[in-house]
Structure 1
Amino acid sequence: MPRLVAIAPVRHSFSYFAYHSPRAVSERSAAMLKKIIQHTPHVPGFTHPDSSVQHFLAHTRKAVQRGLSHAHNAPVLLVTGNESADLDSFTSSLLFAYLTSRFPREAAAKKAYKTIIPLLNITREEVSLRPELAYLLDTLHIPATDLICRDELLEALQAGVAPYVDVVLVDHNRLLGELAEIFDSKVIGVIDHHKDEGLYLTANPRIVESCGSCTSHVINYFADVFTAATIGDEKEAKIFTDIAKLGLAPIIVDTANLQSKAEEPDFDAAQILASYISSSHDPTQTVTAVAGPADSSAGATSAARAADTGAYFTALIEAKRAIDNFSLRDILRKDYKEWTEANGLKLGISSSTRSFAWTVSKFGVGEFKAGVAAWAKERDLDAFAFMDSFTTAEGEYRRDLFVCACTDKGKAPTAKFIASAKAEFNLCEYGDGDDKCGLTNEECFGAWRQGDTKASRKQVAPLMRKCICGM
């Protein structure tokens, strides 16, 4: 198993926690770290030598099925991603839960949680809408039935259990919906890369800093564990190879294989993980250690620092795009987020890896309009947006933005958002060579080509929310 290369430390300032990239370890330190791994205290729910991610999920699933009746005597930690439940949310919640159960940081160690639950923040029925997740699970031989979904957790919670459950948020920093009603006062940790909403200020850790993938923050939070793991035995090597496959998936998907929107934490995490990929039996076989330059400044080019993850990236993107048999409703709810603002107005944003033109062409203008109206009615929305991100046959990376008001109350703020977005994201009318599939822009309803292709939902949502709530 390859040794982790030395990485120049990169310092970030957080309110409650600071991480540093791992350093090369001496032989004396290596021996000490190996002893630490071999004598990691037993955590209930974990039986050595099988400390795999797969075993962790299966055992945790059984604990949830039993209704968490033990919570009165032994606390439970719930780790949940956001309600879009994309690869980043899934992986960051699973890895934080798994690594905490084996290598608890200070706060978690004090609580000695009996059960740590990685939650997929969607219903069981929605799992089938994520072919990229199915691909990743299959790659790692994880049965989808071992995932713990939101509806199953809420059904399993017995009366009086909620007060004994603590919550860590990953890939978002504001709990929403049913989970917020039950657990909002129980949030003890936050790791996220979206705009900071200024909540849970005493959480520890509280890491809310921009990067391409939230999973990068999770990996860097446990960086010392990975340094130690390079000295582990064969079983440890297999476990950490699976962890590397898990962690790299959202990092390379969310940063276009480290070529777009990747920041220092992403390069640090990718370098840590890439050195563990050594299998020759799967699409990740081309992954090699990230060769970071001697100068690890933010100005270093991504091309010089990217891992050779091309085959893995391509397989994941192809899986994510496999939505040809989806209904329009399924496409709209596959990668969807919504917010209810203080003034009572509600907005939702759907995202897709297939072009807006492809979507409208597949269903036709009339059915597309009717489908959006039906979805807005189902979700009780005042405003709605549909975003895409895709690469053309000519190799050009593109984004489009569709926006519409769904109620009379939503018209004025939607018009305000469209005007602001035109300037903020360089929205352009479609040219003669662009195919918008016969859709005609109307008042508070229309689609534009997005000139600023770096602006994803992370950037669009805050502006739309600001306009909707009247700020």
Structure 2
Amino acid sequence: MSMPVPAEHAGEVPVPSASRAPIELAAYLRWAKDQAMAHKVQCETGGTPTQPLTLIMGNEAGDLDSAASAIALSYVMNHDQAHFVRAYGVPRGVHVPVIQTPRRALSQRKENLHVYEYVQAPVASLLCVDELGDLASPAWGPDAQVSLGLVDHPQLRAAWGADRRIVAVVDHHEDEGLYRDAPLRIIRAPSTSPVGSAASLVAALAHEARRGAALETRVADLLLSAVVLDTKNLKMQEDGGKGTRVDAEAFAYLAQSTSIGRHEAGAASPDPALTAAWSRELQRIKSDVAHLDTHGLLERDLKEVRVVTKRRALQVGLASVPISLSAWLGGAYKGPAPMTEVAAAAQEHEWARWWASLGAFMEERRLDMAVVLSSYKTESKSRRDLALALRGSASELADVGQALEGTALGLKAWKGERRTENGKKERVAGVDAKGHVRSVPGIVGAVWRQGNTAANRKVVQPALLRALQRAL
């Protein structure tokens, strides 16, 4: 598989006995969690940790790609540790996967739970971020012999504090130029060398470390599930999908040992029709968010970033939501009720409630700006909406809006799916002519239809950050 060529270091490296992790996935996850919890207790009781620890974490959105990549990379780095120490210079010790989702919120991603059940990994065996306590504590810093590894995101969350040692970055978002001295640093930016799934990069590292030898079946199942979900069963870029050569190579490697798509255990390779069916099943489960309220929809796939402009510093949250704003406002996503007409009074009430919920979420998360990225289909056509709420003035909103409308996102006036009494499509409500949100003093907001439906969060986020730098 095609990977950057590591700087080899002569000599074999001894592996600490504690890092001889279980082979079977469920046992491995319990073991890894126990290692981190033992470290935490040791620090809390005044002890001095003697075993180096590296926490491998996905992004805070906690999607399957992040979770699978964190688990699998930690697994490979433990079981093939000598390779990573020798080839990349990563520190020896125990590598522990961290799911950056609070345990209470795991149910927001039913597709993840479905895959955990398939690979026989009990949810209780996962180490969730809230189980670590204070992330900025010295217990998770270099003085306690702790390093951090990032997968599926290029920047450590502010909650982890400033004094942290980053030893691995494996990502497919835009390169923000951070952690240049990380021994293992592989970033495939969408603008230069796109890859559909971070799990494909982890699979490539596993292939490299094992010289092509197969992975444990359940680990392969986990990675393959992330790859087929993110790429819609390897729909390639030339066909309008996200799949790339790296994803195809990862799929081919994982196909050696996966149980997915096999009619029987002895089958030589997965049946393409069955892997396609698995991809569709995961897509269907992922799209079903009927169990979530507005808070859950906003939190389920949220990424936060801090932006410093000429005028101010902003904490920005970008929430990806797989339903239309019309379905969200009227609650149609919770059941089979059709979206037809909406009365003007009802429309104003729905928007007031929606803006108020968004404002409360911003207050809870201490966000200066919330951006909602809505993606959905109508009559087999892909659609995207973009809603923005800013803690600021109408003039700042106008400047940001003008900067955004000058990007390749193709923003235009929002029109919903429902009709009002006069037969026209619904428009944005709950704000005055200058964008002041009537139900949330101090918040201004705007909503657009996004013409560039190919621009997902990987594209919108850097465009937004550039627009903020220009406008503010």
Identify the residue that residue 244 of structure 2 maps to in structure 1.
Answer: 263
In the alignment, is residue 144 of structure 1 matched against residue 115 of structure 2? Answer: no
Within-5 A mapping of 1:50-449: 50-68=22-40, 69=42, 72-104=49-81, 106-108=83-85, 113-154=92-133, 162-163=141-142, 164-183=145-164, 186-209=165-188, 210-225=194-209, 228-230=212-214, 240-259=216-235, 260-278=241-259, 309-342=275-308, 343-362=312-331, 364-392=350-378, 394-408=379-393, 410-421=396-407, 424-429=408-413, 438-440=427-429, 443=434, 445-449=445-449
SS in 2 for 1:44: helix
Q: Distance in 2 between matches of 1:136 and 1:124?
A: 16
Deviation at 1:338, TM superposition (A): 1.5
* 1:326 alignment partner AA: L
Q: Distance in 1 between matches of 2:296 and 2:219?
A: 30
Identify the residue that residue 456 of structure 2 maps to in structure 1.
Answer: 456
Partner deviation per Cα, 1:14-40 (whole Å, 9 max, x = no partner): 5x7499xxxxxxxxxxxxxxxxxxxx9
SS in 2 for 1:389: strand
With 212-221 and 154-163 compared, the bigger mean Cα shift is at 154-163
Partner deviation per Cα, 1:357-394 (whole Å, 9 max, x = no partner): 221221832321211122222223332211123334x3
SS in 2 for 1:425: coil
SS in 2 for 1:349: strand
The alignment of Structure 1 onto Structure 2 pairs a total of residues equal to 411
Give ranges in structure 1 of 5+ residues lacking alignment: 1-8, 20-39, 231-238, 291-305
Q: Distance in 1 between matches of 2:264 and 2:136?
A: 39
**Is the contact between residue 410 and residue 450 of structure 2 (CA under 8 Å) also seen in structure 1?**
yes
* 2:208 alignment partner AA: D
Q: With the length of structure 1 as denominator, give the TM-score of the two structures.
A: 0.77
Partner deviation per Cα, 1:443-469 (whole Å, 9 max, x = no partner): 453333322222110110111112223
Deviation at 1:174, TM superposition (A): 1.2
**Is the contact between residue 340 and residue 346 of structure 1 (CA under 8 Å) also seen in structure 2?**
yes
**Is the contact between residue 16 and residue 92 of structure 2 (CA under 8 Å) also seen in structure 1?**
no
Identify the residue that residue 468 of structure 1 maps to in structure 2.
Answer: 468
SS in 1 for 2:257: coil
* 2:406 alignment partner AA: S
* 2:53 alignment partner AA: V
Q: Distance in 2 between matches of 1:420 and 1:285?
A: 56
Deviation at 1:429, TM superposition (A): 3.8
Q: Distance in 2 between matches of 1:283 and 1:406?
A: 57
Deviation at 1:334, TM superposition (A): 0.7
Q: For the aligned residues, what is the CA RMSD?
A: 3.5
Deviation at 1:45, TM superposition (A): 5.0
SS in 2 for 1:108: helix
**Is the contact between residue 52 and residue 94 of structure 2 (CA under 8 Å) also seen in structure 1?**
yes
Q: Distance in 2 between matches of 1:332 and 1:282?
A: 39
Identify the residue that residue 11 of structure 2 maps to in structure 1.
Answer: none
**Is the contact between residue 401 and residue 448 of structure 1 (CA under 8 Å) also seen in structure 2?**
yes
Q: Distance in 1 between matches of 2:401 and 2:294?
A: 25
**Is the contact between residue 66 and residue 156 of structure 1 (CA under 8 Å) also seen in structure 2?**
no
Partner deviation per Cα, 1:107-163 (whole Å, 9 max, x = no partner): 536666442111111222222222111111111111111111122123599865622
**Is the contact between residue 124 and residue 149 of structure 1 (CA under 8 Å) also seen in structure 2?**
yes
Q: Residues 89 and 278 (structure 1 numbering): CA distance in 2 closer, same or farther, change over 3 Å? A: closer
Q: Distance in 2 between matches of 1:287 and 1:389?
A: 38
**Is the contact between residue 385 and residue 414 of structure 2 (CA under 8 Å) also seen in structure 1?**
no
Over the matched positions of the two proteins, sequence identity in percent amounts to: 25
**Is the contact between residue 305 and residue 316 of structure 2 (CA under 8 Å) also seen in structure 1?**
yes
Q: Distance in 2 between matches of 1:161 and 1:149?
A: 14
Q: Distance in 2 between matches of 1:388 and 1:111?
A: 39
* 2:289 alignment partner AA: I
**Is the contact between residue 228 and residue 279 of structure 2 (CA under 8 Å) also seen in structure 1?**
yes
